[in-house]
Amino acid sequence: KAGVTQTPRYLIKTRGQQVTLSCSPISGHRSVSWYQQTPGQGLQFLFEYFSETQRNKGNFPGRFSGRQFSNSRSEMNVSTLELGDSALYLCASSLGGTAWNEQFFGPGTRLTVL
């Protein structure tokens, strides 16, 4: 079974631009979550989607948004990029819909904002 895939793996953008990251979950998984990892803050939860609906949201500004498609694939968008948005963005998928779901992570997208 293929794992979680994320594209692109690396991105370089400049301040003020916007970026879209993509995540394909494990087949059969309906929940997709996004996390930001930085050296200072560690791994922080951005939001979670289940059956195309955002179920949970972390403490990030409105510049961070996402969506999920009917095939469970998800995209994350960051608008008006800031230097502090440079981070490893990780996507995780799980079955969802039941208690105690193991989440499996993709390799991440390394975003650098210049």
Partner 1 sequence: DQQVKQNSPSLSVQEGRISILNCDYTNSMFDYFLWYKKYPAEGPTFLISISSIKDKNEDGRFTVFLNKSAKHLSLHIVPSQPGDSAVYFCAASGVGSEKLVFGKGTKLTVNP
Binding site for partner 1 (CB under 8 A): 4, 6, 31, 33, 35, 42-45, 48, 50, 55-56, 58, 88, 90, 92, 94, 96, 99-108, 110
Q: Which two tokens stand for residue 78?
A: 């960051």
Closest to 70 (Cα-Cα) out of 97, 89, 49 = 49
CB of 28 to partner 1, least distance (A): 15
Q: Which is nearer to partner 1, 55 or 63 (CB)?
A: 55
Q: Which two tokens stand for residue 56?
A: 């949970």
Whole-number Cα distances in Å, 68 to 63, 86, 95 = 17, 23, 14
Q: Which is nearer to partner 1, 22 or 107 (CB)?
A: 107
CB of 92 to partner 1, least distance (A): 8
Q: Which is nearer to partner 1, 16 or 97 (CB)?
A: 97
Determine the Cα–Cα distance for residues 41 and 43; give it in Å rounded to an integer: 7
